[in-house]
């Protein structure tokens, strides 16, 4: 099938801007992988002597590559640093030509179509009918969660990066920050939002936050990080990389005495590399049954085995204990975000916590978040994602909303 006439017209109308800003050589491999151009097309484009001539050749080829070529072209533009503004320009022109509201963009999931707004986030209160019976008789394995507020919550929201950083602006991250703010307010936390910080300011504020004396009278702490990232690190707005271990170290037993033995919950929405999950067919699964394991079983596997030391003392705990790091994606892979609704991870996290915080512990809810993101969210080209919680908790975490 031929390319839609509206798509051709939008490309033609934006020829000058596209020719000026396109970086064709950076796009070719992705365009070929997505089926937007052929191998011969790449050779033709590379044979041109200047970037501008290469851009003109690419714009001559794309309209000849079928009905899906325009969307695939836009999809690739969204993925490349310095090119996303071109994809937004093309999509906005398409929507203007339709005469109605903008549709979902390239990283929009088919599930959770309505944007969560703070006014729509209401956490269901604790219902003792649905709490595990063992919870009542085994409180030693549950963190104390009775203080009002439950703890302090810090949301780090980096959206606008310096030009020198060569990083895209994070459209949709403000929606994440608003939704998380409302969620943790409903879970009885005092919330602070830190926006667009440089490396030096971020480290200064993190250590100030970790040292606040209020932690002594509260039962937990929450930190949400929304930014660009690389394996084991996040970007600050000045383009510097901060190791996540440096951020969490501020809260460990050596540096934050008020937080020893209390759950320290980190929720991290950031890429952890450049790989893209292309998904796998469920036809390859041998069994049609899905086994839902209890949280106790999951924690048993995480902490299976016993180690003994020569010391008989149990008066101390490991400095790095009692942490939960809920990453939005697995190591090495990208993390998807919708430019209006926010990230897949935070959308799913808010919905699951709204529904189940009154009856399930955090680890079990994060398993639900994994399943929701994995099954219900995908990009234009069926690209997928699965979150990756790292559990160093020593007990179960229940929020007990409403109590």
State the pLDDT at residue 94: 80
State the pLDDT at residue 290: 35
State the pLDDT at residue 302: 43
Q: Which residue among the candidates 228, 258, 278, 300 is catalytic per the annotation?
A: 228
Neighbour-count burial of 114, counting CB atoms closer than 10 A to its CB (0-12 exposed, 13-18 middle, 19+ buried)? exposed
State the pLDDT at residue 183: 95
Query: Of all helices (H) and strands (E), which one includes residue 391?
Result: strand 388-392
Query: Of all helices (H) and strands (E), which one includes residue 195?
Result: strand 189-195
Report d(CA 194, CA 202) in Å as an integer.
Answer: 9
Task: Establish if 193 belongs to a structural domain.
Answer: yes
Both 87 and 151 in one domain: the answer is no
Task: Establish if 292 belongs to a structural domain.
Answer: no
Residues 381 and 337 sit within 8 Å (Cβ to Cβ): no
**10 by DSSP, 3-state: which?**
helix
Pull the structure tokens for residue 349: 């996290």
Number of neighbours of residue 296 by Cβ within 10 angstroms = 16
Pull the structure tokens for residue 365: 């809810």
Both 90 and 145 in one domain: the answer is no
The CATH number of the domain holding residue 36 is: 1.10.533.10
Report d(CA 96, CA 346) in Å as an integer.
Answer: 29
Both 254 and 336 in one domain: the answer is yes
Report d(CA 400, CA 148) in Å as an integer.
Answer: 11
Task: Establish if 296 belongs to a structural domain.
Answer: no
Both 173 and 55 in one domain: the answer is no
Name 347's Cβ contacts closer than 8 Å, sequence gap at least 6.
Answer: 109, 112, 116, 179, 338, 341
Q: Which domain holds residue 351?
A: 133-276+319-392
Both 181 and 330 in one domain: the answer is yes
Report d(CA 299, CA 123) in Å as an integer.
Answer: 25
Both 93 and 137 in one domain: the answer is no
Q: Which residues pair with residue 30 across a beta bridge? A: none
Both 149 and 92 in one domain: the answer is no
Report d(CA 402, CA 123) in Å as an integer.
Answer: 9
Both 187 and 332 in one domain: the answer is yes
Both 159 and 257 in one domain: the answer is yes
Neighbour-count burial of 267, counting CB atoms closer than 10 A to its CB (0-12 exposed, 13-18 middle, 19+ buried)? buried
Task: Please list the pLDDT of the chain residue by residue as tens digits (403 residues).
Answer: 788 888 888 888 888 889 888 998 988 888 888 888 898 899 899 999 999 999 999 999 999 998 889 988 988 888 787 888 888 888 877 876 655 333 332 222 233 333 444 445 677 777 777 777 667 667 789 999 999 999 999 999 999 999 998 888 898 899 999 999 999 999 999 999 999 999 999 999 999 999 999 999 999 999 999 999 999 999 999 999 999 999 999 999 999 999 999 999 999 999 998 888 776 644 333 323 334 444 445 444 444 444 444 433 444 557 789 999 999 999 988 888 888 889 999 999 999 999 899 999 999 999 999 999 998 887 656 788 999 999 999 999 999 998 8
Told to judge if 350 belongs to the known catalytic residues of this protein, a careful annotator would answer: no
φ, ψ of residue 31 to 5 degrees: the values are -60, -40
Residues for the chain: how many in total? 403
The CATH number of the domain holding residue 264 is: 3.40.50.1460
Both 79 and 160 in one domain: the answer is no
Task: List, for residues 175-217, the tens digit of each pLDDT value.
Answer: 999 999 999 999 999 999 999 999 999 999 999 999 999 999 9
Query: Of all helices (H) and strands (E), which one includes residue 43?
Result: helix 39-46
Report d(CA 77, CA 73) in Å as an integer.
Answer: 6
Task: Establish if 314 belongs to a structural domain.
Answer: no
Task: Establish if 403 belongs to a structural domain.
Answer: no
CA 46 from chain centre, in angstroms, equals: 36
Task: Establish if 374 belongs to a structural domain.
Answer: yes
Max Cα–Cα distance, the chain, nearest Å: 78
Task: Establish if 118 belongs to a structural domain.
Answer: no
Task: Establish if 303 belongs to a structural domain.
Answer: no
Told to judge if 188 belongs to the known catalytic residues of this protein, a careful annotator would answer: no
Report d(CA 177, CA 275) in Å as an integer.
Answer: 25
Kindly report each contact of residues 375-379 with a partner whose C-beta sits within 8 Å and lies 24 or more positions away, as own/partner. Answer: 375/111, 376/109, 376/110, 376/111, 376/112, 376/348, 377/109, 377/110, 377/111, 377/112, 377/336, 377/344, 377/348, 378/109, 378/110, 378/279, 379/75, 379/106, 379/107, 379/108, 379/336
Report d(CA 236, CA 246) in Å as an integer.
Answer: 13
Please say which residue of 97, 125, 147 terminates a domain. Answer: 97
Both 40 and 148 in one domain: the answer is no
State the pLDDT at residue 173: 92
Both 330 and 222 in one domain: the answer is yes
Report d(CA 91, CA 87) in Å as an integer.
Answer: 6
**Nearest Cα residue to 26 out of 51, 62, 63:** 51
Report d(CA 365, CA 351) in Å as an integer.
Answer: 10
Total count of domains within the chain: 2
What is the rounded (10 degree) CA torsion for 254, 255, 261, 262?
A: -160
């Amino acid at each position: 099938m031929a390319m839609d006439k509206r798509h051709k017209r939008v490309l033609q109308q934006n020829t000058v801007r596209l020719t000026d800003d396109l970086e064709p050589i950076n796009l070719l491999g992705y365009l070929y992988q997505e089926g937007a151009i052929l191998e011969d097309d790449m050779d033709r484009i590379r044979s041109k002597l200047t970037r501008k001539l290469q851009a003109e050749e690419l714009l001559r080829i794309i309209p000849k590559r079928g009905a899906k070529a325009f969307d695939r072209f836009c999809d690739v533009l969204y993925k490349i640093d310095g090119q996303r503004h071109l994809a937004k320009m093309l999509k906005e022109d398409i929507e203007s030509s339709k005469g109605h509201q903008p549709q979902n963009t390239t990283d929009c999931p088919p599930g959770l179509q309505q944007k969560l707004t703070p006014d729509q986030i209401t956490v269901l209160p604790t219902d003792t009918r649905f709490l595990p019976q063992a919870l009542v008789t085994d409180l030693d394995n549950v963190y104390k969660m009775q203080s009002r507020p439950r703890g302090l919550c810090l949301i780090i929201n980096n959206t606008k990066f310096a030009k020198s950083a060569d990083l895209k602006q994070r459209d949709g991250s403000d929606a994440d920050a608003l939704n998380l703010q409302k969620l943790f307010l409903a879970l009885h936390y005092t919330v602070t939002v830190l926006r667009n910080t440089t490396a030096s300011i971020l480290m200064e504020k993190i250590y100030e936050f970790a040292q606040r004396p209020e932690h002594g009278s509260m039962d937990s702490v929450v930190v949400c990080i929304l930014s660009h990232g690389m394996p084991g690190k996040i970007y600050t707005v000045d383009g510097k990389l901060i190791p996540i271990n440096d951020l969490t170290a501020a809260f460990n037993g050596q540096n934050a005495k008020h937080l020893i033995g209390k759950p320290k919950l980190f929720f991290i929405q950031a890429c952890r590399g450049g790989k893209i999950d292309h998904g796998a067919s469920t036809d390859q699964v041998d069994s049609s049954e899905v086994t839902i394991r209890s949280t106790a079983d999951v924690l048993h596997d995480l902490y299976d085995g016993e180690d003994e030391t020569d010391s008989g003392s149990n008066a101390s705990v490991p400095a790095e204990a009692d942490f939960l790091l809920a990453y939005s994606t697995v190591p090495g892979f990208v993390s998807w975000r919708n430019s209006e609704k926010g990230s897949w991870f935070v959308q799913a996290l808010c919905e699951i916590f709204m529904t189940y915080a009154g009856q399930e512990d955090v680890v079990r809810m994060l398993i639900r978040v994994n399943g929701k993101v994995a099954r219900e969210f995908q990009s234009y080209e069926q690209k997928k994602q699965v979150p990756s919680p790292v559990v160093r908790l020593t007990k179960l975490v229940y929020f007990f909303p409403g109590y």
